[in-house]
Amino acid sequence: MQFMTPPQLPVLDISNIAAGENGRVAIDSVSGNMYFDNGTAWINLALNSQIAPLQAAITALNNPESAIFGGGSPEAISFLSTTSLYTYSYNTSVKGSNLNSATVYSACSSTGTAALFMGGSPDGSTYISTSSEYTYSSNAVKAGGSLSAGIYSMAAAGNTTVGVFAGGYSTAAVSTTSVYTYSTNAVSVGGALSYTAYGLAGAGNATEAVFGGGYNATYLSTSSLYTYSTNTAIATGNMSYSSLLLAAASISTVAIFTAGNSGGTPVSTTSLYTYSSGTYAAASNIAYAAQAVAGTGNATTGVFGGGIVAPMAMFSTSIYDYSTGTAIYGCDLANGGFGMAAGSPNVGINA
């Protein structure tokens, strides 16, 4: 199926452009409202209750909500700084701006305006502490703050003010967390997870993050619940399967943990975490089995992309519908591979 790109409305400073072209429609660059030129004056369509919903819909078409997938590797001997933008409403993917450095197995947390890619490995043997901050509105990348030490294969989640980067591997698997304050680009030590692992996954809502799975001498189903306001973590329910290099996404009430390597085999298995009860239940599998998948989502769907089933790296995506609990194939990513990280401009819905 091919998806048509809707026409873009012009964005104008209405206060500085005279009316006179009857039938013209534009978005005001100052207020964001949609205006109609009736030949003599600009009419603010937001003031018409019947037109306002149309304005909102057209504005959404002009500014489609997108997730970003970044970094990764198409094979074990090369590493990428490339990104792919996935647009939820059109199920399409295009290339975005490159990250500051090539990295595999980084982690990503997101605010409503930017995604922060942190840590990982540029070559498969050394670990970095630096970050790349991607701004959704401008498709621009700049350097962010740094961890106190290089680490890879950690997980991340966040809310409007902080991102929590947890677990991972440095000289050994760790349970430590780093709290990144978006407004200052400062990193501080957070409370340790209730277990030690690398290759885990994380997702969160506005108040809590849940980190699950991973590996530490064995494949884990363990999980830990992190509270942003107190910077503390406690043990919570175990996942319904054990997995390394899995992915996660979340809405306010539930989080999805899926895919990964379970006992040496790539899987498409899914486990659904309910925040209110602190318990997991088996859920519908995603559309394909792979390890080192990246995940993120918006208020209605989780999108999981990339991964590897040796020796083949994946460009595929699978779209999980929270309302129906089902998953289908999505489009291929513009840049694929395994060990990517992903974020979305929905606060508290991160991978």
pLDDT at 62: 54
**Is 47 found in the same domain as 157?**
no
Over 60: is that where the pLDDT of 252 sits?
yes
The confidence band for 37, taking pLDDT boundaries of 50, 70 and 90, is confident
pLDDT in tens, 155-171: 999 998 999 999 999 99
**349 part of a folded domain:** no
**Is 44 found in the same domain as 101?**
no
The confidence band for 38, taking pLDDT boundaries of 50, 70 and 90, is confident
Range 10-20 average pLDDT: 82
The confidence band for 31, taking pLDDT boundaries of 50, 70 and 90, is confident
**Is 41 found in the same domain as 122?**
no
The confidence band for 2, taking pLDDT boundaries of 50, 70 and 90, is very low
**93 part of a folded domain:** yes
**120 part of a folded domain:** yes
Q: Count of residues for the chain?
A: 351
Number of compact structural domains in the chain: 2
**Is 150 found in the same domain as 16?**
no
**Is 70 found in the same domain as 39?**
no
pLDDT at 247: 98
**304 part of a folded domain:** yes
Over 80: is that where the pLDDT of 89 sits?
yes
Nearest to 212 by CA among 263, 253, 286, 270: 270
**Is 137 found in the same domain as 55?**
no
pLDDT at 347: 56
CATH number, residue 268: 2.120.10.80
**312 part of a folded domain:** yes
Provide the terminal-to-terminal Cα distance of the chain, rounded to the nearest Å. Answer: 28
- Does residue 74 or residue 29 have the better pLDDT? 74
Please state which of the ranges 2-16, 141-155, 162-176 shows the lowest mean pLDDT.
Answer: 2-16
**Is 94 found in the same domain as 155?**
yes
Give the strand order in the sheet containing 140-143: 107-110, 114-118, 131-135, 140-143
Query: Of 42, 62, 82, which residue is a domain's last?
Result: 62
Over 90: is that where the pLDDT of 59 sits?
no
- Name residue 226's beta-bridge partners: 209, 233
Query: Of 40, 62, 84, which residue is a domain's last?
Result: 62
Distance CA 260, CA 270 (A): 10
The confidence band for 302, taking pLDDT boundaries of 50, 70 and 90, is very high
State residue 343 phi and psi, 5-degree precision. Answer: -145, 170
Average pLDDT, the chain: 90
The confidence band for 112, taking pLDDT boundaries of 50, 70 and 90, is confident
Range 13-42 average pLDDT: 81
pLDDT at 350: 44
Range 85-99 average pLDDT: 92
**Is 319 found in the same domain as 192?**
yes
**38 part of a folded domain:** yes
**Is 184 found in the same domain as 161?**
yes
**37 part of a folded domain:** yes
- Does residue 348 or residue 173 have the better pLDDT? 173
The confidence band for 1, taking pLDDT boundaries of 50, 70 and 90, is very low
- Name residue 209's beta-bridge partners: 204, 226
128 within 8 A of 194, measured Cβ to Cβ: no
**Is 293 found in the same domain as 149?**
yes
Query: Of 62, 77, 96, which residue is a domain's last?
Result: 62
Domain, as residue range, for 320: 66-343
**329 part of a folded domain:** yes
**Is 204 found in the same domain as 142?**
yes
**Is 57 found in the same domain as 93?**
no
